[in-house]
Protein backbone atom coordinates (compact mmCIF):
# COMPACT_ATOMS: atom_id res chain seq x y z
CA UNK A 1 0.00 0.00 0.00
CA UNK A 2 2.81 2.39 0.97
CA UNK A 3 4.66 1.62 -2.24
CA UNK A 4 1.54 2.29 -4.25
CA UNK A 5 1.14 5.72 -2.63
CA UNK A 6 4.83 6.51 -3.17
CA UNK A 7 4.68 5.40 -6.79
CA UNK A 8 1.51 7.40 -7.42
CA UNK A 9 3.00 10.47 -5.74
CA UNK A 10 6.20 10.18 -7.76
CA UNK A 11 4.20 9.74 -10.98
CA UNK A 12 2.05 12.76 -10.15
CA UNK A 13 5.11 14.91 -9.40
CA UNK A 14 6.77 13.84 -12.65
CA UNK A 15 3.62 14.71 -14.59
CA UNK A 16 3.41 18.11 -12.91
CA UNK A 17 7.07 18.82 -13.60
CA UNK A 18 6.64 17.87 -17.25
CA UNK A 19 3.58 20.09 -17.49
CA UNK A 20 5.53 22.98 -16.00
CA UNK A 21 8.41 22.58 -18.40
CA UNK A 22 6.04 22.29 -21.35
CA UNK A 23 4.32 25.53 -20.36
CA UNK A 24 7.71 27.17 -19.78
CA UNK A 25 8.64 26.38 -23.38
CA UNK A 26 5.50 28.13 -24.57
CA UNK A 27 6.36 31.24 -22.50
CA UNK A 28 7.72 33.91 -24.89
CA UNK A 29 10.21 36.27 -23.20
CA UNK A 30 11.82 39.42 -24.52
CA UNK A 31 14.56 41.57 -23.09
CA UNK A 32 15.42 45.28 -23.42
CA UNK A 33 18.68 47.09 -22.76
CA UNK A 34 17.54 50.39 -21.24
CA UNK A 35 21.02 51.95 -21.41
CA UNK A 36 21.22 51.23 -25.13
CA UNK A 37 17.74 52.64 -25.64
CA UNK A 38 18.48 55.89 -23.78
CA UNK A 39 21.80 56.24 -25.61
CA UNK A 40 20.28 55.80 -29.07
CA UNK A 41 17.02 57.73 -28.97
CA UNK A 42 17.00 61.33 -30.26
CA UNK A 43 14.73 62.55 -27.43
CA UNK A 44 17.59 62.43 -24.89
CA UNK A 45 19.85 64.64 -27.03
CA UNK A 46 16.92 67.00 -27.57
CA UNK A 47 16.41 67.25 -23.79
CA UNK A 48 20.10 68.04 -23.28
CA UNK A 49 19.97 70.82 -25.89
CA UNK A 50 16.75 72.20 -24.46
CA UNK A 51 18.15 72.31 -20.91
CA UNK A 52 21.42 73.86 -22.06
CA UNK A 53 19.48 76.63 -23.76
CA UNK A 54 17.15 77.06 -20.82
CA UNK A 55 19.95 77.50 -18.29
CA UNK A 56 22.68 78.96 -20.52
CA UNK A 57 22.46 82.52 -19.25
CA UNK A 58 22.67 81.56 -15.58
CA UNK A 59 25.52 79.11 -16.25
CA UNK A 60 27.45 81.78 -18.10
CA UNK A 61 27.03 84.15 -15.16
CA UNK A 62 28.45 81.49 -12.82
CA UNK A 63 31.33 80.77 -15.19
CA UNK A 64 32.13 84.49 -15.29
CA UNK A 65 32.09 84.58 -11.50
CA UNK A 66 34.45 81.58 -11.40
CA UNK A 67 36.77 83.37 -13.80
CA UNK A 68 36.69 86.50 -11.64
CA UNK A 69 37.55 84.42 -8.55
CA UNK A 70 40.48 82.81 -10.39
CA UNK A 71 41.69 86.23 -11.51
CA UNK A 72 41.54 87.66 -7.98
CA UNK A 73 43.31 84.60 -6.53
CA UNK A 74 46.09 84.88 -9.11
CA UNK A 75 46.35 88.58 -8.37
CA UNK A 76 46.69 87.76 -4.66
CA UNK A 77 49.47 85.25 -5.41
CA UNK A 78 51.29 87.62 -7.77
CA UNK A 79 51.04 90.80 -5.77
CA UNK A 80 50.64 89.43 -2.25
CA UNK A 81 54.28 90.02 -1.36
CA UNK A 82 54.05 93.72 -2.19
CA UNK A 83 50.59 94.34 -0.70
CA UNK A 84 49.98 95.83 2.70
CA UNK A 85 48.19 93.71 5.31
CA UNK A 86 45.08 95.83 4.84
CA UNK A 87 45.09 95.28 1.05
CA UNK A 88 45.58 91.53 1.57
CA UNK A 89 42.69 91.38 4.02
CA UNK A 90 40.45 93.36 1.65
CA UNK A 91 41.32 91.10 -1.28
CA UNK A 92 40.80 87.94 0.84
CA UNK A 93 37.39 89.23 1.93
CA UNK A 94 36.50 90.00 -1.68
CA UNK A 95 37.52 86.49 -2.81
CA UNK A 96 35.60 84.85 0.04
CA UNK A 97 32.53 86.94 -0.76
CA UNK A 98 32.72 85.91 -4.39
CA UNK A 99 33.12 82.24 -3.43
CA UNK A 100 30.10 82.50 -1.12
CA UNK A 101 28.07 84.09 -3.93
CA UNK A 102 29.14 81.29 -6.27
CA UNK A 103 27.99 78.68 -3.77
CA UNK A 104 24.71 80.48 -3.08
CA UNK A 105 23.89 80.72 -6.78
CA UNK A 106 25.45 77.43 -7.91
CA UNK A 107 23.66 74.97 -5.64
CA UNK A 108 20.13 76.13 -6.42
CA UNK A 109 20.95 76.18 -10.12
CA UNK A 110 22.29 72.61 -9.99
CA UNK A 111 19.16 71.49 -8.14
CA UNK A 112 16.89 73.25 -10.60
CA UNK A 113 18.71 71.72 -13.58
CA UNK A 114 18.51 68.26 -12.00
CA UNK A 115 14.79 68.70 -11.30
CA UNK A 116 14.05 69.82 -14.87
CA UNK A 117 16.17 66.97 -16.24
CA UNK A 118 14.24 64.46 -14.13
CA UNK A 119 10.91 65.92 -15.30
CA UNK A 120 11.89 65.62 -18.95
CA UNK A 121 13.41 62.15 -18.55
CA UNK A 122 10.24 60.96 -16.80
CA UNK A 123 8.27 61.89 -19.92
CA UNK A 124 10.73 59.99 -22.11
CA UNK A 125 10.69 57.01 -19.74
CA UNK A 126 6.89 56.82 -19.95
CA UNK A 127 7.13 56.94 -23.73
CA UNK A 128 9.73 54.13 -23.71
CA UNK A 129 7.62 51.95 -21.42
CA UNK A 130 4.53 52.51 -23.59
CA UNK A 131 6.53 51.55 -26.69
CA UNK A 132 7.95 48.45 -24.97
CA UNK A 133 4.38 47.38 -24.14
CA UNK A 134 3.29 47.98 -27.75
CA UNK A 135 6.25 46.03 -29.16
CA UNK A 136 5.64 43.19 -26.68
CA UNK A 137 1.93 43.01 -27.54
CA UNK A 138 2.52 43.10 -31.29
CA UNK A 139 5.19 40.40 -30.97
CA UNK A 140 2.93 38.35 -28.66
CA UNK A 141 5.49 38.29 -25.85
CA UNK A 142 4.36 37.00 -22.46
CA UNK A 143 7.04 38.88 -20.57
CA UNK A 144 9.69 41.54 -21.16
CA UNK A 145 12.61 41.93 -18.77
CA UNK A 146 15.26 44.60 -18.35
CA UNK A 147 18.69 43.32 -19.33
CA UNK A 148 20.54 45.03 -16.45
CA UNK A 149 18.39 43.35 -13.81
CA UNK A 150 18.54 39.91 -15.41
CA UNK A 151 21.36 37.70 -14.24
CA UNK A 152 21.27 35.30 -17.17
CA UNK A 153 19.25 34.75 -20.30
CA UNK A 154 19.76 32.40 -23.23
CA UNK A 155 20.05 34.64 -26.31
CA UNK A 156 18.78 31.78 -28.48
CA UNK A 157 15.47 31.65 -26.56
CA UNK A 158 15.05 35.26 -25.47
CA UNK A 159 14.52 38.00 -28.03
CA UNK A 160 16.31 41.34 -27.59
CA UNK A 161 13.70 44.00 -28.36
CA UNK A 162 15.98 47.01 -27.79
CA UNK A 163 16.48 47.90 -31.47
CA UNK A 164 12.74 47.69 -32.18
CA UNK A 165 12.05 49.94 -29.19
CA UNK A 166 14.69 52.49 -30.28
CA UNK A 167 13.22 52.52 -33.80
CA UNK A 168 9.68 53.00 -32.55
CA UNK A 169 10.57 55.67 -29.96
CA UNK A 170 12.65 57.57 -32.53
CA UNK A 171 9.60 57.91 -34.76
CA UNK A 172 7.58 59.62 -32.01
- List of domains in the chain: 2-170 (3.30.910.20)
Backbone angles phi, psi at 10, to 5 degrees: -65, -40
pLDDT at 55: 92
pLDDT at 76: 86
pLDDT, tens digit, 9 for 90 and up, residues 67-116:
999 999 998 888 888 888 898 899 899 999 999 999 999 999 999 999 99
Furthest CA-CA distance within the chain: 108
CA 149, 152, 157, 160 torsion-angle sign: positive
- Show the low-confidence residues of the chain (pLDDT under 50): 1-24
pTM of the predicted protein model: 0.65
pLDDT at 170: 87
CA 60, 116, 145, 40 torsion-angle sign: negative
Q: Which of 56, 61, 57 is nearest to 98 (CA)?
A: 61
Backbone angles phi, psi at 29, to 5 degrees: -120, 140
Judging by DSSP bridges, how do beta strands 143-146 and 29-32 pair with one another? parallel
pLDDT at 122: 92
Number of Cβ atoms within 10 Å of the Cβ of 48:
12
Amino acid sequence: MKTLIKTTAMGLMAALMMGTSASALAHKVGIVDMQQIYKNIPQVAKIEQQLQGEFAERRQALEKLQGDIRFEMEKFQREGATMSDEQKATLRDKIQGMQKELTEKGRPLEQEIKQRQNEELAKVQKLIIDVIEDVAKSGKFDEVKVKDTTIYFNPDKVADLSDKVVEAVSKK
